[in-house]
Amino acid sequence: MKAISIKNLYKSYPGVDAIKGISFDIEEGDFFGFLGPNGAGKTTTINCIIGLAQFSQGNIEVFGKDVKKDYMEARKFIGTSPQEYNFDPYLSIADVLIYQAGYYGIKKKDVMPKVEELLKQFKLDGKSEVDFRKLSGGMKRRLTLARSLVHDPKVLILDEPTAGVDVELRIELHNYLKKINKDGKTILLTSHYIDEVEKLCDTICIINEGKIIANEKTKNLLDRLDDGHTEIITDKVSKKIDLDCVEFNKNKILVWNRGKHHLKEVFAHLQKQNIKVIDIKTVKDSLQNIFLRLTKK
């Protein structure tokens, strides 16, 4: 089942085409990384899904419910954690969660066990009556996440959920997100921490200038575009052999990580010619480098 399905989405602002006909699907249970440079269209796409932006063309469905025609049903499936804090200034921490559940049609008496569980989970249980303005940045971030989960949504949309939090909390949040994803929640994550996306996400979609430029399983993307390689320096110049992703350059041989890794065959080939290896160097690539290469103008 598709958790989110976007078809041919266009969104324009006066003088700017923010989204230029994008299409992609997020499968139920997927941990989906949505990447792009600033202004690429990530938040606009998310806003189209959750109902904060009106799109001129295209179609978005959440678990088969059209976000325009069946918006009441579609929204019940979604929990959103926005980039900016947007808490109601008149509510205490516990009330933020209770009122949020109320807006989703859940009565206070029915949601209280969940509220207590989330406050405990996010280490806010001692702060339930406190005004949110008195919370630290990390606590506010945890409250945002708790609020997005209070109505038990099937899809969680997280826009920069770890922005401005310390390393310890980031690791805690990563572990928690992995756990709830394993338990069945579909997660759409945007983040400027590419290592975070690489570590957490099964699928990665990259948007640039309103267009999708990559959308595939994280492993496939890394395999396909990985520029990491092993550099072998030999005492003599080797004869060339016809192998994918192997480059001979005088007494330097580059064996690229992407595709089938041919290191074993290269060593066998060198041994056959009685060529000695003087030095070996591994050059790693990362999703961050791939991202920069794909999105650079």
Partner 1 sequence: MNWVGLWTIIKRENLRTIKVINQVIWPPIISSLLYILIFGFSLGKNFQVGDVSYLAFLVPGLIMMNIIMSSYEESSSSLFLGKFINYIQELLVAPLSYLELVIGFLFGSIIRSFVIANLILIVFMFFVDINIHSIWLYLFFMIFVSIFFACVGLIVALWADKFDNLAILNTFFITPLLFFGGVFHSIILLPEFFQKLSLFNPLFYMIDGFRYSILGTSDLSIIYSIIVVVALAVVSFMFTAYLFKKGYKLKT
Q: What is the dihedral of CA 179, 158, 124, 134, to 10 degrees?
A: 160
Which of residues 76 and 229 has its CB atom nearest to partner 1 in the complex? 76
Q: H-type helices in 122-217, by residue range?
A: 137-149, 167-182, 194-200
Binding track over 131-170 against partner 1, x by CB under 8 A: ----------------------------------------
Q: Which stretch binds partner 1 (CB under 8 A): 82-90, 120-128, 213-221, 258-266?
A: 82-90
Answer for the pair 293, 258: CB distance below 8 angstroms, yes or no. Answer: no
Q: Which of 1, 8, 57, 88 is the binder for partner 1 (CB under 8 A)?
A: 88
Q: Which stretch binds partner 1 (CB under 8 A): 68-76, 137-145, 169-177, 240-248?
A: 68-76
Which of residues 91 and 245 has its CB atom nearest to partner 1 in the complex? 91
Q: Which stretch binds partner 1 (CB under 8 A): 74-82, 119-127, 211-219, 234-242?
A: 74-82
Which of residues 76 and 142 has its CB atom nearest to partner 1 in the complex? 76
Q: Which of 90, 109, 168, 242 is the binder for partner 1 (CB under 8 A)?
A: 90
Reading the block at residue 202, the tokens are: 């099964």
The yes or no reply on residue 63 touching partner 1 (CB under 8 A) is no
Q: Report the C-alpha gap between 202 and 172 in whole angstroms.
A: 19
Q: Is 232 helix (H, G, I), strand (E, B) or coil?
A: strand
Closest approach of partner 1 to the CB of residue 98, in Å? 9
The yes or no reply on residue 91 touching partner 1 (CB under 8 A) is yes
Answer for the pair 32, 205: CB distance below 8 angstroms, yes or no. Answer: yes
> Which amino acid type is present at position 138?
G
**Which one, of 69, 68, 56, lies nearest residue 13 by Cα?**
56
Reading the block at residue 145, the tokens are: 């996440």
Closest approach of partner 1 to the CB of residue 149, in Å? 14
Residue with tokens 């899904």: 49
The yes or no reply on residue 99 touching partner 1 (CB under 8 A) is yes
Which of residues 67 and 204 has its CB atom nearest to partner 1 in the complex? 67
Which of residues 11 and 269 has its CB atom nearest to partner 1 in the complex? 11
Which of residues 72 and 167 has its CB atom nearest to partner 1 in the complex? 72
Q: What is the dihedral of CA 265, 266, 272, 275, to 10 degrees?
A: -160
Query: CA triplet 70, 64, 218: central angle to 5 degrees?
Result: 130
The yes or no reply on residue 54 touching partner 1 (CB under 8 A) is yes
The yes or no reply on residue 10 touching partner 1 (CB under 8 A) is no
Q: Is 109 left (phi over 0), alpha (psi -120 to 50) or beta?
A: alpha
Closest approach of partner 1 to the CB of residue 110, in Å? 9
The values of phi and psi at residue 231, to 5°, are -110, 120
Residue ranges in contact with partner 1 by CB under 8 A? 13, 44, 47, 50-54, 71-73, 75-76, 78, 80, 82, 84, 86-91, 99-100, 102-107
